């Protein structure tokens, strides 16, 4: 019996290592405007169909954000008053942590889809 007790911590560590992907992964990133990081951007994490908001955080002073997720496919929205809304769709987190970069554009420089030259003939 004492041999089993000595092996129990080893087996628990082995089980924890084997199950670690199911326990949670990190989905992190940084929000950029050209080459500058952007602080205080609301980052919304949704399921792949945008039906459920899973979490929401604000970027820190270095433009960084982080979510703890289980493996899956997600959409990420970036929102800040002076900037156009950006959605990054189909972000797949599989077996390892994932880091992404989100580019946002000030509203004054964002393309207006209704004013493209293709509409004027």
Q: Where are the domains of the chain?
A: 24-109
CATH number of this structure's domain 24-109:
2.60.40.1120
User: pTM value?
Assistant: 0.72
pLDDT tens sequence for the chain (121 residues): 444 445 556 555 444 455 554 558 999 999 999 999 999 999 999 999 888 999 999 999 999 999 999 999 999 999 999 999 999 999 999 999 999 999 999 998 877 554 444 444 4
- Report the alpha-carbon distance of residue 83 to residue 31 in Å, rounded: 12
What is the CB neighbour count within 10 angstroms for residue 102? 20
């Amino acid at each position: 019996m004492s041999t089993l007790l000595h092996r129990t911590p080893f087996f628990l560590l082995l089980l924890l290592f084997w199950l670690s992907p199911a326990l949670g992964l990190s989905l992190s990133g940084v929000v950029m405007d050209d080459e500058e990081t952007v602080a205080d951007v609301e980052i919304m994490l949704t399921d792949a169909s945008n039906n459920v908001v899973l979490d929401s955080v604000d970027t820190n002073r270095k433009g960084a954000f982080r979510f703890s997720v289980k493996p899956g496919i997600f959409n990420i929205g970036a929102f800040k008053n002076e900037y156009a809304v950006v959605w990054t769709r189909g972000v797949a987190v599989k077996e390892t942590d994932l880091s992404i970069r989100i580019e946002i554009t000030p509203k004054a420089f964002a393309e207006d889809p209704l004013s493209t030259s293709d509409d004027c003939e």
